[in-house]
Chains A and B, each alone.
Chain A
Amino acid sequence: MPYTNEDYLPSYEELTVPELEISSAAFRTAAHHLGKYCDNTCKEFILCRTEENDPRKCLNEGKEVTRCAYEFLGKIKKSCYAEFTQYMDCIDHSGLSMEFKNCRKTQAVFDACVKENLGQDRPELGYFTKVRLHKTERPKAVPDPHILPERLPEPPKFENKTTDPMKGPRWF
């Protein structure tokens, strides 16, 4: 490993949080609503990851993201469990890549339930792929200064030493 004992690596306690133990079908089913519910948190986390380019510095943001998803899925489980399961069954058996296009009816039922209980619309098409500005309190990440080795001494001045080529020996 390139990590020495002095390098910072977070401990197991810091890294252990309740993870989202759900299948890919559940993720695909919840994706749009989940992304909208945790929009700001996700943006904050991704901003941190791209700015710092270091997972060690974005642990708190990452935990916040997972906690938000946990909260959302808990709410869904409490209020829309049957609708969610029905939609997920459809998604799970919808082609090799779990497409949405075969499941519009169950999707409508699920959306109506989410609208009723969480008060959240399904984000319009193109919401996640368009450029969205994010306002943040986060200070700009400044990398450590790059300390270069000391500058080499200047080369000696050659102007005084060179002779005029026109005044050199001319017998060649």
Chain B
Amino acid sequence: MVTYKQDMPPEGGFNPYEWAARKPKRLFGGYTQFALFAGFTSIAWIFYFRWRNTKKLNELEMRESRVAIEPFLLAERDRAILKHYRKNRDEENELMKNVEGWKTGTLWGEPVFYNPRNRYVKPALEELLAHMSYREQEDFKYDKRKRF
């Protein structure tokens, strides 16, 4: 005797099985998509070029401000470096006064540079730093730092 009930398909059978790939429905057609792309890009270009122009003008203004103050900084720096040359020369005179045959600015009488036209010579960095302490050298070479 059968005591259970057999499950059977619903009345009228199962729904049809979807086996084909379903394509998503397109929001816009091809022409609309091209038009949207062109429009969006044009507007973006307008904004980009306007931004770039503003940026260039701002940079020009900054550059101009640097150009404008250059002579003032240069004049001050020239005086400072010439003072430093003089200080170093005095220091060398003082240091080597007891050494016989030593001539300041030369190596036992031989000049450092071959300079027949009497042009301005820039000393090497080591010569500028020669009579300084290590800390002063650091301050001279780099921006003077705050020490704690």
Contacts and interface: CB of A to CB of B under 8 A. Distances in A.
Contacts of B116: 144, 146-147
Given A62-B75, A69-B72, A32 B120 contact: no
Contacts of B66: 31
Kindly state the interface size class of chain A when it binds its partner: 35 or more
Contact of B76 (A10, A19, A31, A146): A19
Contact of A66 (B75, B82, B112): B75
Interface string B69-84: 1111011101101110
Contact of A2 (B65, B67, B69, B127): B127
Nearest to B128: A1
Nearest to B118: A144
A133 to B, nearest CB: 16
Nearest to A35: B68
A2 B105 contact: yes
Contacts of A4: 103-106, 111
B58 A9 contact: no
Contacts of A35: 64, 67-69
A170 interface: no
Nearest to B120: A54
Given A9-B86, A62-B75, A129 B123 contact: no
A90 to B, nearest CB: 14
Contacts of A125: 57, 60-61, 64
A51 to B, nearest CB: 12
A45 B75 contact: yes
A72 B74 CA distance: 18
Interface in B72-128: 72, 74-76, 78-79, 81-83, 85-86, 88-89, 92-93, 103-106, 111-113, 116-121, 123, 127
B64 A32 contact: yes
B145 interface: no
A127 B83 contact: no
B74 A49 contact: yes
Contact of B63 (A1, A129, A147): A129
B81 to A, nearest CB: 7
B44 interface: no
Contacts of B132: none
Contacts of A54: 119-120
Nearest to A33: B68
Contacts of A12: 83, 86
Nearest to B72: A69
Interface stretch (A74-82, A97-105, A109-117, A160-168): A97-105
A7 B103 CA distance: 13
Contacts of B113: 2
7 contacts: A1-B104, A1-B130, A4-B103, A27-B72, A32-B68, A55-B120, A62-B74
Interface of A: 1-5, 7, 9-12, 15-17, 19-20, 27-28, 31-32, 34-36, 38, 41-42, 45-46, 49, 52-56, 58-59, 61-63, 65-66, 69, 97, 99-101, 125-129, 143-147
